[in-house]
């Protein structure tokens, strides 16, 4: 979805390096999410944020940190990258929950392919 952008799209780095992945959205959504996907597996939630300065851990937050300084931006950091963090990373956004199950639809960015050597 062009309304959700991620940078960089591809990154190769070395063990121990600090890496930041950026996500920006123009949908005006309050909620933003970071997921990772390993080959052949579904997505797993790393962190999520419901508003600026609001940060919540997901299933697999160890080794990661996030920052939400503005509504439109949510960044994911790997403080000291390790090889098992090699994965495809997705950012997503959603509106607040509305009646009828609406608003919970998540809109995903194109992904960042990260390789840690």
Partner 1 sequence: DAKTTQPTSMDCAEGRAANLPCNHSTISGNEYVYWYRQIHSQGPQYIIHGLKNNETNEMASLIITEDRKSSTLILPHATLRDTAVYYCIVRGGSSNTGKLIFGQGTTLQVKP
Site for partner 1, rule CB under 8 A: 1, 4, 31, 33, 41-45, 48, 50, 56, 58-59, 88, 90, 92, 94, 97, 100-101, 104-111, 113
Our CB check for partner 1 shows the closer of 81 and 87 to be 87
Q: Please, which residue, 28 or 110, has the CB nearer to partner 1?
A: 110
Q: What angle (nearest 5°) sits at the alpha carbon of residue 109, between those of residues 103 and 112? A: 145
Task: Give the shortest CB-70-to-partner 1 separation in angstroms.
Answer: 19
Please report how close the Cβ of residue 108 comes to partner 1 at its closest, in angstroms. Answer: 3
> At its nearest, how many Å lie between partner 1 and the CB of residue 74?
13
| DSSP result, 39-51 | TTS-EEEEEEESS
Taking the complex as a whole, the smallest distance from the CB of residue 80 to partner 1 amounts, in Å, to 26
Does the CA dihedral 50-51-52-53 come out positive or negative? negative
CA–CA distance, 83 with 65 (Å, rounded to integer): 17
* 36, 86 Cβ separation under 8 angstroms: no
């Amino acid at each position: 979805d062009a309304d959700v952008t991620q940078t960089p799209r591809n990154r190769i780095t070395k063990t121990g390096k600090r890496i930041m992945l950026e996500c920006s959205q123009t949908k005006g959504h309050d909620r933003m999410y970071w997921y990772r996907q390993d080959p052949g597996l579904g997505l797993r939630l790393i962190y999520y944020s419901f508003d600026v300065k609001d940060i919540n851990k997901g299933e697999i937050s160890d080794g990661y940190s996030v920052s939400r300084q503005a509504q439109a931006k949510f960044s994911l950091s790997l403080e000291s990258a390790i090889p098992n963090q090699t994965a495809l990373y997705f950012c997503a956004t959603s509106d607040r929950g509305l009646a009828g199950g609406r608003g919970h639809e998540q809109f995903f960015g194109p992904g960042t392919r990260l390789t840690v050597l």
